[in-house]
Amino acid sequence: MSATSLLASGTDVGAEIVFWVCATLCVIGALGMLLSRKPVHSALFVALTMINLAILYVALQAPFLGMVQIIVYTGAVMMLFVFVMMIVGVDASDSLIETIRGQRWAAIILVLAFAGLLIGAIVNGLSGVPEPSLEAANSQYGGNLQGIAKIIFTDYIVAFEVTSALLIIAALGAMLLAHRERHTPKPTQEQRSIARFARYAATGELPGNLPPAGTYARHNAIDTPALAPDGSVVPESVPGPLQERGNVRPVDVAAEVEVDEISEGHTVVTVDDDEAGEQR
Amino acid sequence: MSTTHYLVLSAILFSLGVLGVLVRRNALIVFMCVEMMLNASNLAFVAFAQQNGNLYGQTIAFFVMVVAAAEVVVGLAIIVTIYRTRRSASVDEPSLLKY
């Protein structure tokens, strides 16, 4: 295609490029949703489809719907899906076992037939229609948003009001469904404190905080156990997994090495003898 | 671009959504496929609005979006409730009424 013909049909070529790129990405997103094992990957593919659909809406002279599509679908709906995945379990993969034998192939054949029917009907029914344009409708009230607002608040005002009721009912219904009734009363702070000291009386479990790693020790690394003021090691101050893996650093090794070095004449810490004696 | 292209894309997306509802077993993915079908129908509405030269199709697509948002909220709450009682998000699990 030469430069002049490109210029002559500039908008058409632009619309064609936008359509083919976005349509390809839409179908890729839909296929990815269908074929990926993990729900999170599916959600990301659906978000890809939705964003490309928003671009297509803009190309179809519906800029308001394009923005709403991005805000509502990719912003709210897909994030809600991802939140629920965090509750339900991110790595809950699909089982590939068919519960009804031959169902998968039957479904594929059925859907191919259905798609063929739809596409055939569309191509047949829409052959020879005039070239579409929304310019007049969009500019009638000053813009696309104003035009939609005029329709919503005049012709569809009842539907719009019913929509508000629907949204409130949906919010209430979600709260009702996700609500969990407590079977036992929630313990108060007082009751929990009493229980803590009862445990202290029975088992000797400390009622306060555990000392953090490194308290009174020479290092504050997480694998260094705290020292009690009398110099004994507090093993509970090191996190449980580190203890199970045997990664607890012995506290006294560094101290012993330093004492040896000082006694051999290598002065590591330059402090007065009196102060050093006090610190030891 | 002619309306036919957009409608064929809409039909393809709708069919892929139907296929997902039929073959996938994870309730969340099935639900996403339902959303895909709603979006495909929205695309058809917007394409027809452009073809007809008025904004009614876009208005209906707007209402479809509102209803879809409400539907997602309730549907996900149902999925969470089922997950709490059955510890699974598979659509094969809740089959108690069958026996």
Place of tokens 């064609």: A16
Q: What pLDDT was estimated at residue A272?
A: 46
Nearest beta carbon to residue B74 from set A61, A131, A174:
A174
Q: What pLDDT was estimated at residue A256?
A: 56
Which residues of A, range 40-99, sit inside 8 Å of B by Cβ? 42-43, 46, 49-50, 53, 56-57, 59-62, 64-65, 68-69, 72-73, 76-77, 80-81, 84-85, 87-89, 92-95, 99
CB B50 within 8 A of CB A61: yes
pLDDT digits (tens, 9 = 90+) for B30-88: 999 999 999 999 999 999 999 888 899 999 999 999 999 999 999 999 888 888 888 77
CB A130 within 8 A of CB B34: no
Binary contact (A19, B5; C-beta < 8 A): yes
Q: What pLDDT was estimated at residue A12?
A: 77
Q: What pLDDT was estimated at residue A220?
A: 73
The interface predicted TM-score (ipTM) is 0.92
pTM to 2 decimal places: 0.74
Instruction: Give the Cα separation of A224 and A255 in Å (integer).
Output: 13
Which residues, other chains included, contact A149 with Cβ-Cβ below 8 Å and sequence gap of 6+?
Answer: A141
For the domain A12-91+140-158, what is the CATH code?
1.20.120.1200
CA closest to B59 among chain A residues: A148
Place of tokens 């619309």: A15
Q: What pLDDT was estimated at residue A71?
A: 93
Instruction: Give the Cα separation of A83 and A206 in Å (integer).
Output: 38
- Domain residue ranges in chain A: 12-91+140-158, 210-279
Sign for the CA dihedral angle at B22, B23, B28, B33 comes to negative
Q: What pLDDT was estimated at residue A253?
A: 57
Measured between CB atoms, does A172 come within 8 Å of chain B? no
Q: Using an 8 Å CB-CB cutoff, list chain A residues near B41.
A: none
Instruction: Give the Cα separation of A109 and A232 in Å (integer).
Output: 74
Per-residue confidence of chain A (280 residues) as pLDDT tens digits?
A: 444 444 444 467 888 899 999 999 999 999 999 998 888 999 999 999 999 999 999 998 899 999 999 999 988 999 999 998 888 876 666 666 667 788 889 999 999 999 999 999 999 888 877 777 788 888 888 888 999 999 999 999 999 999 999 999 999 999 898 888 888 888 899 999 999 999 999 988 878 887 777 666 667 777 777 777 666 777 778 888 888 887 777 766 556 566 566 667 665 554 444 444 444 4
Nearest beta carbon to residue A26 from set B9, B51, B52:
B9
Alpha carbon of A186: minimum distance to chain B alpha carbons (Å) = 20
Binary contact (A156, B14; C-beta < 8 A): no
How would DSSP label each residue in A109-140?
HHHHHHHHHHHHHHHHHTTTPPPP--HHHHHH
Instruction: Give the Cα separation of A224 and A237 in Å (integer).
Output: 8
